[in-house]
Amino acid sequence: MARRRQLYEGKAKILFEGPEPGTLVQYFKDDATAFNAQKKGTITGKGVLNNRISEFLMMKLAEIGIPTHFVRRLNMREQLIKEVEIIPIEVVVRNIAAGSISTRLGIAEGTRLPRSIMEFYYKNDTLGDPMVAEEHITAFGWAMPQDMDDIIHMTLRINDFLTGLFLGVGITLVDFKVEFGRLWENEDMRIVLADEISPDNCRLWDTKTNEKMDKDRFRRDLGKVEEAYQEVAKRLGILPEAGNADMKGPEMMQ
């Protein structure tokens, strides 16, 4: 079978040429890495689940007016996306201390932060994705000041919306990472949400037990990694095996 031309292979996804100009096919792998790929592994079925979870969350975000690169899901592991120019910045929002903020600043994991904190990291594997300030981003031209205004505004809305959505299914959104891209339409440029939103790039804790339901189970060898991703999909009402679950909404929990 003729295979589409591969344009880029990342740690968890592959990008192929899309069926028409301005589109790409995003393929979700089961590969997992952590600590800048020093730790490598496979999470069976992760690609299928992340494809569905990211589709679901991006479609929900589009409903509240967040522009995204997502067009439609093509099959179990692939989605059609709009081709964008990725802004080389990872935007992290933290609601509760965990991971690097806990180690760097000595804040116990699980401490609710006085307010949501946004951080920026420069996407550069050789440098290990260093944390940067908005000053660096605009001074070095990675994004314009007006791009940053859009990114910050959208990211705050994403945080508020996803916090509520996850809370509704018994999950606490501890932190997450998003990426944005420039979408060119003729002479006009808009910033849109890109990449993926999944348990690979969110910290999701069960609201009642604080049990981890995200990639920290892989990073920290906690076991039951596949089960955690499945549980997130199940609570969102989108587990592929759940029969005719395509259009099912979230399962509400007390």
Minimum CB separation of residue 151 from ligand TMP in Å reads 15
CA dihedral 12, 17, 22, 24 (to 10 degrees): -30
- Show the tokens assigned to 226: 């596949």
Minimum CB separation of residue 13 from ligand TMP in Å reads 12
Nearer to ligand TMP, 92 or 238 (CB): 92
Which residues 6+ apart lie within 8 Å of 71 measured at CB? 23, 79, 80, 81, 82
The strand pairing partners of 21, in sequence order, are none
What is the number of other CB atoms lying within 10 angstroms of the CB of residue 4? 15
Nearer to ligand TMP, 18 or 28 (CB): 28
Minimum CB separation of residue 147 from ligand TMP in Å reads 20
d(CA 154, CA 169) in angstroms, rounded, equals 23
Nearer to ligand TMP, 136 or 248 (CB): 136
What 3-state DSSP class applies to 241? Answer: coil
The residue ranges that bind ligand TMP (CB under 6 A) are: 92, 99-100, 129, 175-177, 201-203
The answer to whether the CB of 203 falls within 8 A of the CB of 92 is no
Point out the residue whose Cβ comes nearest to ligand TMP.
99
Taking the alpha carbons of 9, 10, 16, 20 in that order, is the dihedral positive or negative? negative
Nearer to ligand TMP, 77 or 215 (CB): 215
The answer to whether the CB of 252 falls within 8 A of the CB of 169 is yes
Q: Nearest to residue 196, comparing CAs of 35, 37, 16, 59?
A: 59
Nearer to ligand TMP, 16 or 121 (CB): 121
Nearer to ligand TMP, 18 or 194 (CB): 194
Minimum CB separation of residue 202 from ligand TMP in Å reads 5
Minimum CB separation of residue 22 from ligand TMP in Å reads 26
Minimum CB separation of residue 100 from ligand TMP in Å reads 3
